Structure 1
Amino acid sequence: MGFPALMGRYQVGKTIGEGTFAKVKIAVDMKNGKTVAVKILDKKMVLERSLMHQVEREIGAMKILHHPNIVRIHEVIASKSKIYIVMEYVSGGQLSEKMSCHSIMSETEARKYFQQLIDAVDYCHSQGVYHRDLKPENLLIDSRGNLKLSDFGLSALRRPGNLLSTACGSPSYVAPEVIVRKKYDGAAADVWSCGVVLFELLAGFLPFQDRNMMNLYRKIARAECKLPEWFTAPQKKLLAKLLDPNPLRRAKVGEIIEDSWFRLDYKSVAENVCGWALPENTFQVMKMGEPMVLESPRQATFINAFQLISMSNDLDLSGLFGEQKTKLFARYSKTETMKRIHVAAKDASLSIVRMIGSKVNLHASEKLTRSIPHIMVSVEVIEVTSMHCMIEIYKSTRAIKPYEEFCKSLSIILE
């Protein structure tokens, strides 16, 4: 008996990976015969565990990254109960599996994987993406023996220099500054993780190990690790720069690339990369038809880049979890935009029941109902620049007509 087809295009086959709330299956694209990987997520389980933002981050990051050493995403398909992420199929398995088969990897092979890891991380950082969970389990090997970075579920998108605050990652690979829950530089934290991976590639074991989690964190915070006697002087020199507990002294990616040990047989893929670069200015129209800006630490109301990716027509992530909303773009200040929302509400016979900051709740006018008013439409205004705003309009399950009338009125007013 054959395997079922997904959305009439992908012939889904056997399971090749399984996690807590997701399975990865091999599939064939029936249009071109190419093999792909399909990550299948249980929507109910994702919602119950409040992992919606993690899924959106993973899809959003993979959508904007185009690099030979990063797993590509092809498309996202959503049903009532499942989310299907169709990705590039990487046939060689995880780097961790390869490492378990070799007690110690050859220096040449270890260096090649490390070079490709740094190339991928350097590219991610140039796009404002910080992985935050770099480890051999998230590094795949393709049929040609090349490394592919995957799993962006814990990634963050910030303008270079902006600090992060969420503590995340795998304990043995996480940077000291992340453990102590201080604000940290995503690039420096990723470099530390790369250093741990390099150590493991060359030694065959982790630099920081302890069954007691507090002792493990203490060792990481002090960078207490013993270098194997077979490590060469150039290897020790580079590792000392990578595993510096002080993030300000830790090597930058550019310094790693200039290291003499790293540069041996190094073949950069930078000239072949055709990516999606972040703009210098805070407002720019993307090819997908939506403006893109970055989160500003000085003004929290400015839209986050991942939110903006989700708003694009090319990849609207809001529908993945059953949200029903309309998005409009206003070329007015936030104050002027709010005034137009008031006018549109009046046109649709809706009254403002509550207004908190940038959020407005609307219900049917008292003249039209004798019952206790319930919220029919919710509106949120997200400031992009001083003269550009994004408007998100949500409807209640029983407010189709008022919602449609309000959206229509506001669209006309904003023209």
Structure 2
Amino acid sequence: MSYRSKLTASAPKVKRRVGKYELGRTIGEGTFAKVRFAKNSETGDPVAIKILDKEKVLKHKLVEQIKREISIMKLIKHPNVVGLHEVMGSKSKIFIVLELVTGGELFDIIANYGRMREDEARRYFQQLINAVDYCHSRGVYHRDLKLENLLLDAYGNLKVSDFGLSALSQQIRGDGLLHTSCGTPNYVAPEVLEDGGYHGAAADLWSCGVILFVMLAGYLPFEDNNLMNLYKKISSAEYTCPSWLSFGAMKLIAKILDPNPVTRITIPEILVDEWFRKGYKPPVFEEKCEANLDDIDAAFGDSEDQHVKEKIEEQPASMNAFELISLSKGLNLENLFDIEKEFKREKRFTSKCSAKEIVTKIEEAAKPLGFDIQKKNYKMKLETMKAGRKGNLNVATEIFQMAPSVHMVELKKSKGDTLEFQKFYRSLSVQLKDVVWKSEEEMQDSMTA
């Protein structure tokens, strides 16, 4: 393979920006949304951006549900709940900028390593109760608490996520109860399975009890391949604690997994429980003022003035060390087979200017010389309007990144007379004197030195 084809085989880097955020790899994907790693270009802080397709959201009539999810997360500012920074909208997408949580799911720890030590499980449970207690104080009920929705940050602290099935207190009917059956079957409270309504706080607490059991036992308390049998077990709280659980842990689990929501233990009672209190540290954080929800309507609205700009930027293809060395005359075997030795059909130079600036300067210099210009990312096609000795002169130009602040520009005659190409390059060089850092000869001298 020639070094020319090797160079053009290098793929350019693509940068996608949304407002001030530079998007990275996809870290999660669902039916209606994907989550991508991103970086705030102003602060350098990493974030996660949940991207929703507006068309799909509208088609499935999910606008109000998504708005509710965002509103809920804006209301909740707690160290054990995934934070929401801001919401943005474009013509076709909704962007929810979230706190980046890098420690994985609590589910993965159990799946990979089995049950936890009692003191470790207790610490996570304490953080879970702190978060749920705060949510309930703000009139927010999660309704889908499970290990998969409990994340860990880089310091091993628990973070509650995914409020997609949450319910605000405004959704409570005149009887004071919620009436939507939702959640994951193994974690759901008995009263949720019935059609008589339920209290969100008591239902969330049941799910917390299932989570505590799984952390300590390594398996679910209620399991059955038959859904009706599973519901029967849940309704009668039919489970067995493993022998290694301490008496204090078994006693607390029994109080939480009480099938009667009226007699089930409450969070204030859990907070004074002897087993729970061991090593307990109440959360210390600054209470935020009321959240501004204006950006939610702006994100879902049709006004282009309030939409965020989406940009796709391509960076020049980079060159590895071998490709750079191959530019040296001593290692360039192509010279042995070049029939037209008198005049080279390609030229190169290096520049310390940005790739965008180089493209602009070449365009400005080539147009007065009678060239029509076509651009695609960091490649340009220059063609004379007037035919020469061998037809119209065509020059292919491409910019490669050699280092973060150094670019190499390659100009190659793809059609026309070689002498005319050489003449064009000399004229172009004069116009680009402020852009050229090193000529091809200087580059080769530095490589062979």
For 1:95 and 1:21, the matched residues in 2 are separated by 24
TM superposition shift of 1:102: 1.3
3-state SS, counterpart of residue 4 of structure 1: strand
For 1:287 and 1:103, the matched residues in 2 are separated by 40
Equivalent position of 1:320 in the other structure: 300
Equivalent position of 2:282 in the other structure: 268
Aligned residues: 290
User: 192, 207, 220: which is aligned to 1:206?
Assistant: 220
CA offsets, 1:285-324, max 9 Å, x none? x675xxxxxxxxxxxxxxxxxxxxxxx43x3337516599
State the TM-score, normalizing by the size of structure 1: 0.67
TM superposition shift of 1:54: 2.3
User: 8, 24, 27: which is aligned to 1:16?
Assistant: 27
Equivalent position of 1:219 in the other structure: 233
Structure 1 residue 231 and structure 2 residue 251: aligned?
A: no
CA offsets, 1:4-41, max 9 Å, x none? 33333111000111111111110110010000001111
For 1:73 and 1:11, the matched residues in 2 are separated by 17
Equivalent position of 1:248 in the other structure: 262
Equivalent position of 2:110 in the other structure: 99
For 1:187 and 1:41, the matched residues in 2 are separated by 29
Using CA pairs under 8 Å that are at least 6 residues apart, name the structure with larger relative contact order, 1 or 2: 2
Return the index of the structure with the highest Cα Rg.
Answer: 2
TM superposition shift of 1:273: 4.1
Question: Structure 1 pair 233/3, CA: closer, same or farther in 2 (3 Å)?
Answer: farther
Following superposition of structure 1 onto structure 2, how do residues 15-414 of structure 1 map, counting pairs within 5 Å? 15-158=26-169, 162-269=176-283, 271-276=284-289, 288=292, 312-313=293-294, 315-317=295-297, 320=300, 322=302
- Given that residues 93 and 142 in structure 1 are in contact (C-alpha distance below 8 angstroms), is that contact kept between their aligned partners in structure 2? yes
3-state SS, counterpart of residue 96 of structure 1: helix
TM superposition shift of 1:112: 0.8
CA offsets, 1:52-89, max 9 Å, x none? 22211210111111100011101111122211111000
For 1:69 and 1:83, the matched residues in 2 are separated by 25
3-state SS, counterpart of residue 198 of structure 2: coil
State the TM-score, normalizing by the size of structure 2: 0.62
- Given that residues 69 and 149 in structure 1 are in contact (C-alpha distance below 8 angstroms), is that contact kept between their aligned partners in structure 2? yes
For 2:104 and 2:110, the matched residues in 1 are separated by 11
For 1:316 and 1:82, the matched residues in 2 are separated by 13
- Given that residues 52 and 321 in structure 1 are in contact (C-alpha distance below 8 angstroms), is that contact kept between their aligned partners in structure 2? no
Question: Structure 1 pair 107/53, CA: closer, same or farther in 2 (3 Å)?
Answer: same
**One-letter identity of the residue aligned with 1:52:** V
TM superposition shift of 1:50: 2.3
- Given that residues 187 and 210 in structure 2 are in contact (C-alpha distance below 8 angstroms), is that contact kept between their aligned partners in structure 1? yes
Question: Structure 1 pair 238/99, CA: closer, same or farther in 2 (3 Å)?
Answer: same
CA offsets, 1:259-304, max 9 Å, x none? 11111111110x424145xxxxxxxxx675xxxxxxxxxxxxxxxx
For 1:287 and 1:24, the matched residues in 2 are separated by 23
CA offsets, 1:193-231, max 9 Å, x none? 000000000011100001111111111111111111111
- Given that residues 67 and 275 in structure 1 are in contact (C-alpha distance below 8 angstroms), is that contact kept between their aligned partners in structure 2? no
3-state SS, counterpart of residue 167 of structure 1: coil
For 1:245 and 1:180, the matched residues in 2 are separated by 12
State the Cα RMSD in Å.
Answer: 2.0
For 1:170 and 1:235, the matched residues in 2 are separated by 24
